Amino acid sequence: MWSHARGWVAATGVLAAVLLTAACHAAAPAAEAAVHSSAAAYATTGPVVALGDSYTAGALLPIDTHAKPAGCLRSTKAYPTLVADALGARLIDVACASAGVKNTTQAQPTYLGTNPPQLSALAPGDRLVLLTLSGDDMGFLNVLKECAELSFTQPWGSPCEAHYTKGGTDQLAAGVAAEGPKMSQVLAEIAARAPGARIVVVGYPDMFPQSGGCWPAVPITAGDVAYLRGTEVKANAMLAAAALGAGATFVNTYTPTIGHDFCQPESVRDVEGLLPGSLALPFHPNTRGQQAIATAVLAAIKRA
């Protein structure tokens, strides 16, 4: 999710892997049990297809060594696997780290192999499509990197907000608005290729504390945390509107993860910060976060 700065993602991901390999097989039995029990009363027929970016792929949780291409960083700890397992369904996972909307119809080169166009994995017999996408198109991980750098110039201000709203236009809000029609087109194409499938658009979890910040542990000022939190809320609202317009299901993963942001202790947070405390990419869900997302998805399926 949220980056065209693949070199930065790769470098930080490697750092996390080196420092935190011991955590890669850490389990959360209670959370996994909750995921499975929530699906006990219902199931699906036909395969589950996972599309999207690194939030779908579950990058580095740890990497599934059997998944191809390896450069997509898919993990069996990611929410699509948890959902498919709970439903007793076969999973077709083509999500890929750093994927954007264009990679739904165009091949995506990675450092280790090329991922085919994601929509090519769809078929008329599919029954459930899971999708988290759009953050990379908005370059949000690049934004977080820039906000971190700017924080040292004005630790008690909002230098990143000033940068992105210079001239009176909020560039990040404009990026979110521009993404809406693209997501609507993607959802229309999914429906055309898999007309019998239920399409589930999965939103992004709460990354930022509801007040304040944790500079310099995560070097983003409190003022910019508030600005970026507002941008994430706008992004989720855009995804919800696109889903509604397409007759798809939107899953709100933001509300259930409030209080589990990157400023929280390692035992509580669902999303890691700049230097992850567990095996995950910076500013991405950890194993606990992926389980929380899976629980929200299964609850949404059960309600319908």
**DSSP of the chain:** ---S-HHHHHHHHHHHHHHHGGGTT---HHHHHHHHHHTTT----S-EEEEESHHHHTTTSS--TTSSSGGG---TTSHHHHHHHHHT--EEE---TT--GGGGTS-EEETTEEEPPGGGG--TT--EEEEE-STTTTTHHHHHHHHHHHHTT-TTS-HHHHHHTGGG--HHHHHHHHHHHHHHHHHHHHHHHSTTPEEEEE-----S-SS---TTTS---HHHHHHHHHHHHHHHHHHHHHHHHHTPEEE--SGGGTT-STTS-TTT-SB--SS-SSSS-TTSB-HHHHHHHHHHHHHHHHH-
Give the global pTM: 0.85
Average of per-residue pLDDT across 273-287: 89
Percent of the chain with pLDDT over 90: 76
**Segment 158-214, tens digit of pLDDT:** 999 999 999 999 999 999 999 999 999 999 999 999 999 999 999 999 999 999 999
